[in-house]
């Protein structure tokens, strides 16, 4: 009878999780690996201070529900992390524990209790988006007579047309955007997912003119480079958008009171598609959402906006109606 396989130690399991499971088997993006790495760096430092064990001496059984709950509480109270960050850290721990459960059966009771820790619910902020006139004012704001202005016009138009994330648009190469024949942008999204989005005529015209102005329009070069020809930084896109918004306030003074980021442009794309009657499933594909459920937040935001409009349109003389529970049991339920 063959000898049973030795149970791997916690340090060995963690190394295999990152190298074999995440890196080779699942082939996740470097950004995901970095996020998971930071989670475990924080956890191991916390565990050493909490239970007095160095990371190399930890056992899988030490990662029980009590320790993880204390760690999550530490993230919120000491490090001032919000519910989103807390949930992202917990998701990383869950992924490791599910992997570890297949390799250390003796720790299953501890793992099951830890996996039962729920994600924290949180209120989603109301989505901010721009009107069509406001968006157009921002698109028209950069000075097309300058190199940076022409680039910014093409950049913002492509962002609005495709709903691209900042990481997607600054990573575009010249060969990723076709403007001859069927105009389309091939975007490389989160989780190495790719999608192709058709371009409007105005966007196609701007991109075509911009390509002619590039010093080296080779297909492998960045479509929207910085002054040095390299990849633009996220902060650079944000800064250029702020300048365009500032210029657009002459036509729309209300923009000065709003916080507008590159992600606002993405929300604007989704809302304008929705208001034009585009199906929610098509919008999910357009934006590169993994699940159409993510896209439903735009539907909810649109309904909330319409409800507020309806309330403003109600006759001012009409007395507000208030629901009155019919009995004590209903009163109790309403009080919860």
**How many beta carbons lie within 10 A of that of residue 137, not counting itself?**
20
Residue 306 designated active-site: no
Residue 190 designated active-site: yes
Residue 272 designated active-site: no
Quick one: angle between helices 292-313 and 262-275, nearest 10? Answer: 70
Q: Of residues 165, 240, 252, 267, which has the active-site annotation?
A: 165
Determine the Cα–Cα distance for residues 205 and 210; give it in Å rounded to an integer. Answer: 9
Q: Of residues 94, 173, 186, 263, which has the active-site annotation?
A: 263
Residue written as tokens 């790719």? 194
Q: Strands 194-198 and 177-178: what pairing?
A: unpaired
Residue 266 designated active-site: yes
Given a contact cutoff of 8 angstroms between Cβ atoms, the answer to whether 86 and 75 are in contact is: yes
Q: Of residues 86, 153, 266, 267, which has the active-site annotation?
A: 266
CA angle 238, 247, 135 (to 5 degrees): 70
Cα–Cα distances in Å, from 63 out to 17, 52, 97, 334? Answer: 15, 13, 9, 40
| Residue 320 burial class via C-beta count within 10 angstroms: exposed 0-12, middle 13-18, buried 19 and up | exposed
Q: Of residues 36, 99, 160, 298, which has the active-site annotation?
A: 298
Residue 89 designated active-site: no
Residue written as tokens 């080296």? 216
Q: Of residues 94, 190, 195, 221, which has the active-site annotation?
A: 190
**How many beta carbons lie within 10 A of that of residue 329, not counting itself?**
9
Sheet holding 177-178, edge to edge: 177-178, 184-188, 194-198
Residue 263 designated active-site: yes
Given a contact cutoff of 8 angstroms between Cβ atoms, the answer to whether 107 and 60 are in contact is: yes
Catalytically active residues are 165, 190, 263, 266, 289, 298
């Amino acid at each position: 009878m063959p000898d049973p396989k030795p149970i791997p130690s916690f340090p060995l399991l963690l190394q295999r999780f990152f190298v074999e499971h995440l890196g080779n088997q699942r082939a996740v993006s470097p950004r995901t690996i970095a996020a998971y790495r930071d989670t475990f760096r924080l956890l191991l430092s916390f565990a050493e201070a909490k239970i007095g064990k160095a990371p190399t001496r930890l056992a899988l059984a030490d990662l029980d529900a009590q320790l993880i709950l204390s760690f999550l509480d530490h993230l919120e109270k000491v490090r001032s992390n919000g519910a989103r960050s807390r949930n992202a850290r917990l998701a990383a721990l869950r992924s490791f524990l599910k992997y570890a459960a297949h390799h250390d059966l003796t720790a299953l009771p501890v793992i099951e209790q830890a996996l039962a820790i729920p994600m924290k619910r949180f209120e989603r902020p109301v989505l901010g988006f721009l009107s069509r006139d406001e968006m157009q004012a921002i698109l028209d704001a950069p000075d097309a007579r300058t190199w940076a202005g022409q680039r910014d016009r093409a950049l913002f138009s492509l962002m609005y047309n495709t709903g691209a994330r900042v990481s997607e648009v600054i990573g575009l190469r010249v060969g990723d955007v076709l403007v001859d024949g069927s105009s389309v942008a091939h975007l490389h999204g989160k989780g190495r997912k790719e999608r192709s989005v058709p371009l409007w005529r105005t966007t196609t015209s701007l991109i075509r003119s911009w390509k002619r102005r590039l010093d080296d329009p080779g297909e492998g070069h960045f479509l929207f480079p910085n002054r040095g020809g390299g990849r633009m930084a996220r902060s650079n896109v944000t800064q250029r958008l702020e300048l365009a918004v500032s210029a657009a306030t002459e036509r729309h003074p209300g923009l000065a009171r709003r916080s507008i980021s590159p992600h606002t442009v993405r929300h604007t794309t989704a809302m304008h598609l929705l208001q034009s009657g585009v199906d929610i499933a098509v919008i999910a594909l357009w934006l590169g959402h993994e699940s159409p459920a993510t896209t439903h937040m735009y539907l909810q935001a649109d309904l909330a906006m319409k409800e507020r409009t309806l309330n403003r349109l109600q006759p001012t003389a009409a007395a507000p109606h208030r629901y009155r529970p019919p009995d004590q049991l209903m009163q109790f339920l309403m009080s919860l």
